[in-house]
Amino acid sequence: MVDASTLPHSTIRTRIALVYGGVFLVLGTALLATVNVASRAGTDSEARAIASSAVV
């Protein structure tokens, strides 16, 4: 492992930026997927409710 005290500050800042960027990318993708799945589930259940009430 490299000693952090010997690294220039720009390298440390770059690593921190990459870590934060990766975390936000993963969390953003997970949030988008969750909203997409929830939206599809809502649309499917609404479509079923409309279809069942239309059949008389």
Amino acid symbol at 54 = A
Q: Is residue 2 part of a domain?
A: no
More confident residue, 42 or 24: 24
Q: Is residue 27 part of a domain?
A: yes
Q: Is residue 48 part of a domain?
A: yes
Q: Is residue 13 part of a domain?
A: no
d(CA 5, CA 26): 29
Q: What is the pLDDT of residue 50?
A: 74
Q: What is the pLDDT of residue 17?
A: 94
Q: What is the pLDDT of residue 51?
A: 77
Tell me the mean pLDDT in the region 10-20: 91
In the structure encoding, which two tokens stand for residue 6, read together?
């010997």
Q: Is residue 30 part of a domain?
A: yes
The yes-or-no verdict on residue 30 having pLDDT over 80 is yes
The yes-or-no verdict on residue 56 having pLDDT over 60 is no
Q: Is residue 45 part of a domain?
A: yes
Q: Is residue 28 part of a domain?
A: yes
> 3-state DSSP: the chain helix, strand, coil percent, rounded to 5?
90, 0, 10
* Domain hosting residue 40, numbered range: 22-56
Total number of domains in the chain: 1
Q: What is the pLDDT of residue 55?
A: 61
